[in-house]
Amino acid sequence: MNPYIFVFALSFLIYRAYTRRSLTPPAILAAVLTACIHGTHAYNLPFVLLITFYALGTAATKVKHDVKATLTVSATGAGGAGGDGARGATQVFANSVVASALTALSAWNATAGGDGGECFADQLLMVGVIVNYAAVTADTLSSELGILSRSGPRLITTSRRCAPGTNGGVSMTGLIAGACGAGVIAVVSVALLPWCASWSLAEKARFAAFITGMGTAGSLLDSLLGALLQASVVDTRTGKVVEAPGGGKVLVLPSQKRLTVAGELRSRFGKAPETAGAAVGDVGAESVQGQWKEQRAANKTGKQLEVEVGKEHAHDAPSRRIETGWNILSNNGVNFAMAALTSVGGMMLAGWAWYGQPLAVVKEVMGV
């Protein structure tokens, strides 16, 4: 890549992220590292795709900010829309680490005399990079702009209506926005790739359609993974989805001081605990949630919350509940899994189309 273009663009990226506070300091360092890896490739495309993804995501976030503030709540309780605030390093890597690895492998292959020469022939690793950014761009625009849909989203697994911001919720507005984002990545790729003479205009158009389709599929895959593996937490007082900053998990219930199992048994049988510290522990959200399940089962009317944990906690009714999904992955984890699966899938499909061998990417990675 041209070093002058790289330094100028990277400096502008750092300046904008710092002055707009769109990235935390660790995230800026992560972005610089990611940009440097992308800049090692002979093609300008990987770095330009990184900048394009960042620019589109930032623009989409600004468009929906005021509306989202009325539809979701922040897990921190600080007010404002859920998920607001500067992006962290984990978010940066979740969307770009797969592309960084593929870019580095492609650059190494070119240096070693393998695929990745002066013109773009049938380089599966570069296809993976492009598909990665098509997918994460489609997912970002779908999530950020889909929440503006007037018809409301439907859960991808059951088709039932769900609250805006629900993981796995899809809408026609979000689907179109995601497809347009993937299309932008496809157009940029077709415009900047140094095509070999063997590629006809029709083949380039099919390539762009393929990238757009893979990006849209990646957005849908992200919704499916989010619906199944990521918990959607709802604030019971407002009915709005709760979102954590930095793409992390939302705590269902705040940690509270409760009797440990040993301390509770001693209390039940009239035996004093050995020490106060031994009897009281910091119990996490899952344990507290289990206690409240027992309470609701013991008294279905909900008028009297009187169980073994004591009457003094009757006012501590939970303000959050898991609406859908298993609390296995965070939003960052879902994004990374989606990017990895979509990129690998795109390379395998391209290998099947070009070589008749879906696993041809393995040979390219090995440089054989």
Q: DSSP string of 256-300?
A: EEEE-HHHHHHHHTT---S-HHHHEEEE-HHHHHHHHHHHHHH-T
Is the domain of 187 the same as that of 237?
Answer: yes
Calpha distance 95→75 (Å, rounded)? 22
The yes-or-no verdict on residue 200 having pLDDT over 60 is yes
pLDDT digits (tens, 9 = 90+) for 173-184: 999 999 999 999
Scored b (16 or more CB within 10 A) or e, 9-44 reads bbeebbeebeeeebbbeebbebbeebbebbbbbebb
The reply to whether 344 and 227 lie within a common domain is yes
Q: What is the pLDDT of residue 80?
A: 52
- Domain co-membership, 295 together with 353: no
Q: What is the largest CA-CA distance in the chain?
A: 87
Residue 331 has pLDDT above 50, yes or no: yes
Are 308 and 333 within one domain?
no
Contact between 325 and 167 (Cβ < 8 Å): yes
Query: Domain range holding 84?
Result: 3-248+325-366
Is the domain of 64 the same as that of 184?
Answer: yes
Mean pLDDT value across residues 266-279: 43
Q: What share of the chain is helix, strand, coil (3-state, %, to 5)?
A: 60, 10, 30
* Residue 191 pLDDT > 90: yes
pLDDT number for residue 164: 86
> Do residues 197 and 301 both lie within one domain?
no
Residues in the chain, how many? 368
For residue 368, the model assigns a pLDDT of: 57
Rounded distance, CA 81 to CA 69, Å? 4
Tally the C-alpha atoms within 13 A of residue 70's C-alpha that lie toward its C-beta: 4
Reported pTM: 0.79
The CA distance from 138 to 337, in Å, is: 15
Q: State whether 204 and 347 are in the same domain.
A: yes
pLDDT over threshold 90, residue 58: no
For the stretch 226-259, pLDDT in tens is: 999 998 888 888 888 888 877 888 877 544 444 4
Q: Does residue 94 have a pLDDT over 60?
A: yes
What are 327-331's contacts with CB under 8 Å, separation 24+?
Answer: 327/230, 327/231, 327/249, 327/252, 328/229, 328/230, 329/225, 329/229, 329/230, 330/230, 330/244, 330/247, 330/248, 330/249, 331/167, 331/226, 331/230, 331/244, 331/247, 331/248
- Asked if 155 and 276 sit in the same domain, the reply is no
What residue ranges in the chain does DSSP mark as E strands? Answer: 72-74, 154-155, 169-170, 232-235, 241-243, 256-259, 280-283, 320-324
Pair (161, 302) in one structural domain: no
Q: How many domains in the chain?
A: 2
Residues 76 and 212 in one domain: yes
Please check whether residues 291 and 334 belong to one and the same domain: no
The reported pLDDT for the residue numbered 146 is: 86
Q: Do 219 and 267 reside in the same domain of the chain?
A: no
Which tens digits make up the pLDDT trace of 99-128? 999 999 999 887 765 555 678 988 999 999
**pLDDT grade for 350, boundaries at 50, 70 and 90:** very high
Element (DSSP H or E) covering residue 126 = helix 124-146
Structure-block tokens of residue 261? 């199992």
Q: Tell which of 317, 335, 356 closes a domain.
A: 317
Strands 232-235 and 241-243: antiparallel
Residue 216 has pLDDT above 90, yes or no: yes
- pLDDT, mean over the chain: 80
Task: Compute the average pLDDT of residues 204-219.
Answer: 97
Radius of gyration (C-alpha) of the chain in whole angstroms:
25
